Amino acid sequence: MESPLSFMRTSARLGATILCVGSLGACDRRGFELIVEPEFEDTFSFETDLSDWAPRGSDLTDLPVVWEVARSSDQASDGEHAIRLRLDNLNSQGKIWIERRYEVEENQVYSVKISFDFGSADWGDVNLWRILAGGGTDSPAVTGSLSVREDSGNGESSDNGYQWVPKSYEIEVRSGTDRELFVYVGIWGASAFLRTYYIDKIQVVLTRQGSSNF
């Protein structure tokens, strides 16, 4: 049978192990499981301002395209305001979005999760536009690099007006020495129509995974 003194020494060593593992993140009592906490976990409902989200666009000059990205009380899924994206897409190529800059640790791998409510009146399967959502180390307004997601349909088989559809995407981004990371959400006009969409309740979760090797 183990003596009380031996038990105390074993407990002391175990406590040191818990403290050491806990110093790296967090410790699960069941087996010293490391728990990775998000570095940023933000929610934006645009009730008072744009919360550092900036309107952006590309492919809007040939032919000239009229567009708008602004706060609006027309539609909302959370509170009374949302972001309205309006595009008179004469050239069938216009892209408009909002983007936000984060300052992160340099040369790190980040998991980027972007969730939001998407308000669309597009129904059926014909002449749908495309949702833009993603992240990167540079502003897509500079690089022209945008991640195209699913179509803009609201899931209805007939015209029932605007419907709010939850969207969620997760990507991996490697930060550079400038310590910048951009996230964005928007719409890509795939045909020559005037259309309006809404974005509300954006949630951004940035979780550092570890050091990058480049």
Q: What is the mean pLDDT of each run of 10 residues along the chain (214 residues)?
A: 44 38 42 66 96 96 93 97 97 96 96 98 97 96 91 97 98 95 97 97 95 64
Please state the domain extents for the chain.
1-35, 37-211
- Per DSSP (E only), the strands in 4-162 are 40-44, 54-58, 66-72, 82-88, 95-103, 108-120, 130-136, 148-151
Q: Rounded distance, CA 130 to CA 86, Å?
A: 14
State residue 161's pLDDT score. Answer: 97
Residue 59: what residue type?
Answer: D
The fold adopted by the segment(s) 37-211 is Jelly Rolls (2.60.120)
Global pTM exceeds 0.75? yes
Burial of 161 (0-12, 13-18, 19+ CB in 10 A): exposed
Residues 6+ apart with CB under 8 A from 139: 56, 99, 101, 182
State residue 62's pLDDT score. Answer: 87
